[in-house]
Structure 1
Amino acid sequence: MSLAHVYAGIASLCKLIFQTLTTTVVSVVVLLATIAIYRLVFHPLASIPGPRFAAISSIWHAYHARNGRMAHLGRTLHRQYGPIVRVGPNEVWFDTKQAFQAIYSTGSGFEKSDFYLATALSKPQLNWQMDPHFPDALDLLSERDVQRYRLQRRLIGPVYQTSNLMQYEAAIDSVLERSIAKLKDLKGAEVELNEWMHIIAVECLSAMVLSWSPGMLKNGTDWGSGPHAYHSWRRKSVFGLFPAMAKLEFWHKTAGRLFSTAWGVNFKTPKNFRPFFPVCYQAFSLTHRDDLMLFQEVGKKISRRVKAATRPIPPKDDRKDLIADLIQLHKSKPSFTDTYLRRMAMTNFGAGHETMASTLTSIIAMVGSREDVRDKVTNEVLEAATPTEYSTATRLPLLQALVKETKRLYPVISMSLPRKVPRGGLHLHDVFFPPGTTVGCNPVALHRNVEVFGSDSSEFRMDRWIDADPETARNMERFSLSWGGGSRTCPGRHLAELVVFKVVPALVKEFEIEASIPPEDDIPSYFLSMLTGVKARFIERLPA
Structure 2
Amino acid sequence: MRFEIPILVALTAGGSIASGIKLPLTYCVQVIPEVISGLNPDRIYEHARTKVCSAGCVVKVSDYQSKGREMGIQIIDEQSKEMGAPELSSEYTKVLDSIYNTALEKCEAKQLGETNICDVDPAQGRKIGQCVKRNMLSIVFDQPEAFWSILTTKCEEQYRFFSNEDFLISLQYANVLVNSHPQVAQGVHNHSYFRSDPMTRVYYTLLYVYGVIGTPEERDYVSKMVNKAHRGVRGRNYNAMDPKQQLWVASCFFVASLTVQETFFGLLDDQSKEVLYKDATRFGTSLQVPLEMWPENVNKFWEYWNHEIHHFEVTSAVLHVTQDVLYPHNIPLWLLFVPPIARIFTIHWLPKACRARIMEQISTMDDGRIVLTQDKGQSYTAQLLYLIVAGYIAHTVYYAYWGPTARIPGPWLARFTRLWELLKVSKGHFEQVNIDLHKKYGPIVRISPNTFSISDPSAIKQIYLGRTTLMKSKFYEPFGDPLDPNLFSETDIKKHAQSRKAVAHLYSMSFLVTYEGSADRCNVQLCAKLRDFARHRTAFDVPTWMQFYAHDVIGEITFGEPFGMMAKGQDEHGIADSIDETMAYASRMAVIPELHRWVSWFGRVAHLKTPFHNIQKYILEQIDARSGSDSVGIDFLKKLLTLREDDKIMQLDIEKTVGNNIMAGADTTAISLSAVIYNLLKNPGTETKLREEIDTLAAAGKLSNPVTFEQARHMPYLQACIKESLRVHPAVGRPLLRVVSPEGLTIAGQYFPGGAIVGINAWVAHYNEDIFGRDATTFRPERWLESDKEKLSVMEQSLLAFGAGVCTCIGKNLSMLELSKVIPELYRQFEFELSESEGAWMTWNNWFVKPAFECYVRLREGV
Band the TM-score falls in, shorter-chain normalisation: 0.7 to 0.9
Higher mean displacement: 395-404 or 362-371: 362-371
Higher mean displacement: 160-169 or 322-331: 322-331
The one of 537, 546, 563 equivalent to 1:197 is 546
Alignment correspondent of 2:850:
530
Is the contact between residue 483 and residue 493 of structure 1 (CA under 8 Å) also seen in structure 2?
yes
Which secondary structure does the structure 1 equivalent of 2:434 belong to? helix
Matched, 1:430 2:749: yes
Structure 1: 5+ residue stretches without partners: 1-13, 125-134, 259-266, 292-315
Is the contact between residue 421 and residue 435 of structure 1 (CA under 8 Å) also seen in structure 2?
yes
Alignment correspondent of 1:540:
859
Higher mean displacement: 335-344 or 470-479: 335-344
Is the contact between residue 66 and residue 235 of structure 1 (CA under 8 Å) also seen in structure 2?
no
Matched, 1:444 2:763: yes
- What amino acid does structure 1 have at the position aligned with 2:499? Q
TM-score normalised by structure 1 residue count: 0.80
Matched, 1:166 2:513: yes
Deviation at 1:468, TM superposition (A): 1.2
Alignment correspondent of 1:509:
828
Which secondary structure does the structure 2 equivalent of 1:440 belong to? strand
The one of 797, 810, 816 equivalent to 1:491 is 810
Alignment correspondent of 1:104:
464
Deviation at 1:276, TM superposition (A): 5.8
Q: Where in structure 2 are the equivalents of 1:231-310 lying within 5 Å?
A: 231-253=581-603, 278-286=617-625, 288-291=626-629
The one of 478, 482, 488 equivalent to 1:141 is 488
- What amino acid does structure 2 have at the position aligned with 1:119? F
- What amino acid does structure 1 have at the position aligned with 2:401? V
Alignment correspondent of 1:360:
673
Which secondary structure does the structure 2 equivalent of 1:222 belong to? coil
Q: 1:485 to 1:92 in 2, by over 3 A?
A: same
Is the contact between residue 745 and residue 752 of structure 2 (CA under 8 Å) also seen in structure 1?
yes
The one of 712, 715, 720 equivalent to 1:393 is 712
- What amino acid does structure 2 have at the position aligned with 1:380? E
Q: 1:52 to 1:338 in 2, by over 3 A?
A: same
The one of 627, 631, 638 equivalent to 1:324 is 638
Is the contact between residue 482 and residue 597 of structure 2 (CA under 8 Å) also seen in structure 1?
no
- Give the alignment's Cα RMSD to 1 decimal: 3.2
Alignment correspondent of 1:220:
569
The one of 76, 81, 101 equivalent to 2:441 is 81
Alignment correspondent of 1:114:
474
Is the contact between residue 194 and residue 534 of structure 1 (CA under 8 Å) also seen in structure 2?
yes
Deviation at 1:141, TM superposition (A): 0.5
TM-score normalised by structure 2 residue count: 0.52
Aligned residues: 479
Q: Where in structure 2 are the equivalents of 1:393-432 lying within 5 Å?
A: 393-432=712-751
Structure 2: 5+ residue stretches without partners: 1-373
Is the contact between residue 195 and residue 226 of structure 1 (CA under 8 Å) also seen in structure 2?
no
Once the two structures are superposed, residues 423-459 of structure 1 have per-residue CA deviations (whole angstroms, 9 ceiling, x without a partner) of 2001123322111100011110011222221121122
Is the contact between residue 40 and residue 56 of structure 1 (CA under 8 Å) also seen in structure 2?
yes
Deviation at 1:36, TM superposition (A): 5.6
Is the contact between residue 448 and residue 457 of structure 1 (CA under 8 Å) also seen in structure 2?
yes
Matched, 1:378 2:691: yes
Instruction: Specify which structure has the higher proportion of helix.
Output: 2
Is the contact between residue 40 and residue 52 of structure 1 (CA under 8 Å) also seen in structure 2?
no
Is the contact between residue 547 and residue 667 of structure 2 (CA under 8 Å) also seen in structure 1?
yes
Matched, 1:54 2:414: yes
Once the two structures are superposed, residues 276-329 of structure 1 have per-residue CA deviations (whole angstroms, 9 ceiling, x without a partner) of 66334423432x2325xxxxxxxxxxxxxxxxxxxxxxxx54332122222233
Matched, 1:347 2:696: no
- What amino acid does structure 1 have at the position aligned with 2:627? R
Once the two structures are superposed, residues 353-373 of structure 1 have per-residue CA deviations (whole angstroms, 9 ceiling, x without a partner) of 222222222122222333122
Q: 1:255 to 1:241 in 2, by over 3 A?
A: farther
Distance in 2, Cα, partners of 1:17 & 1:153: 57
Is the contact between residue 249 and residue 255 of structure 1 (CA under 8 Å) also seen in structure 2?
no
Deviation at 1:527, TM superposition (A): 2.1
Distance in 1, Cα, partners of 2:775 & 2:682: 20
Distance in 2, Cα, partners of 1:26 & 1:321: 59
Q: 1:250 to 1:319 in 2, by over 3 A?
A: closer
Q: Where in structure 2 are the equivalents of 1:175-190 lying within 5 Å?
A: 175-186=522-533, 187=535, 188-190=537-539
Distance in 1, Cα, partners of 2:561 & 2:467: 40
Q: Percent identity?
A: 25
When Rg is computed on C-alpha atoms for both structures, the one with the higher figure is 2
Distance in 2, Cα, partners of 1:160 & 1:29: 49
Which secondary structure does the structure 2 equivalent of 1:542 belong to? coil
Distance in 2, Cα, partners of 1:278 & 1:511: 38
- What amino acid does structure 2 have at the position aligned with 1:179? L
Q: 1:257 to 1:431 in 2, by over 3 A?
A: farther
Q: 1:393 to 1:104 in 2, by over 3 A?
A: same
Deviation at 1:16, TM superposition (A): 7.1
The one of 402, 406, 423 equivalent to 1:63 is 423
Distance in 1, Cα, partners of 2:376 & 2:742: 50
Deviation at 1:231, TM superposition (A): 4.5
Q: 1:338 to 1:32 in 2, by over 3 A?
A: closer
Is the contact between residue 413 and residue 420 of structure 2 (CA under 8 Å) also seen in structure 1?
yes
Which secondary structure does the structure 1 equivalent of 2:858 belong to? strand
Alignment correspondent of 1:312:
none
The one of 467, 479, 499 equivalent to 1:152 is 499
Which secondary structure does the structure 2 equivalent of 1:525 belong to? strand
- What amino acid does structure 1 have at the position aligned with 2:557? M
- What amino acid does structure 2 have at the position aligned with 1:451? D
Distance in 1, Cα, partners of 2:506 & 2:385: 60
Which secondary structure does the structure 1 equivalent of 2:400 belong to? helix
Is the contact between residue 443 and residue 456 of structure 2 (CA under 8 Å) also seen in structure 1?
yes
Once the two structures are superposed, residues 214-272 of structure 1 have per-residue CA deviations (whole angstroms, 9 ceiling, x without a partner) of 221211123564355234323212211112211221332399999xxxxxxxx9x9xxx
Q: 1:164 to 1:515 in 2, by over 3 A?
A: same
Q: 1:255 to 1:432 in 2, by over 3 A?
A: farther
- Structure number with greater CO (CA < 8 Å, separation at least 6) is 1
Distance in 1, Cα, partners of 2:712 & 2:449: 47
- What amino acid does structure 1 have at the position aligned with 2:487? L
Once the two structures are superposed, residues 117-140 of structure 1 have per-residue CA deviations (whole angstroms, 9 ceiling, x without a partner) of 2111x242xxxxxxxxxx4x6x11
Deviation at 1:201, TM superposition (A): 0.4
Q: 1:77 to 1:227 in 2, by over 3 A?
A: farther
Which secondary structure does the structure 1 equivalent of 2:855 belong to? strand
Deviation at 1:27, TM superposition (A): 8.9
Is the contact between residue 106 and residue 487 of structure 1 (CA under 8 Å) also seen in structure 2?
no
- What amino acid does structure 2 have at the position aligned with 1:290? G
Is the contact between residue 83 and residue 96 of structure 1 (CA under 8 Å) also seen in structure 2?
yes
Is the contact between residue 367 and residue 513 of structure 1 (CA under 8 Å) also seen in structure 2?
no
Is the contact between residue 359 and residue 412 of structure 1 (CA under 8 Å) also seen in structure 2?
yes
Distance in 2, Cα, partners of 1:285 & 1:509: 41
Is the contact between residue 470 and residue 738 of structure 2 (CA under 8 Å) also seen in structure 1?
yes
Once the two structures are superposed, residues 480-500 of structure 1 have per-residue CA deviations (whole angstroms, 9 ceiling, x without a partner) of 211112111011111111111
Higher mean displacement: 212-221 or 381-390: 381-390
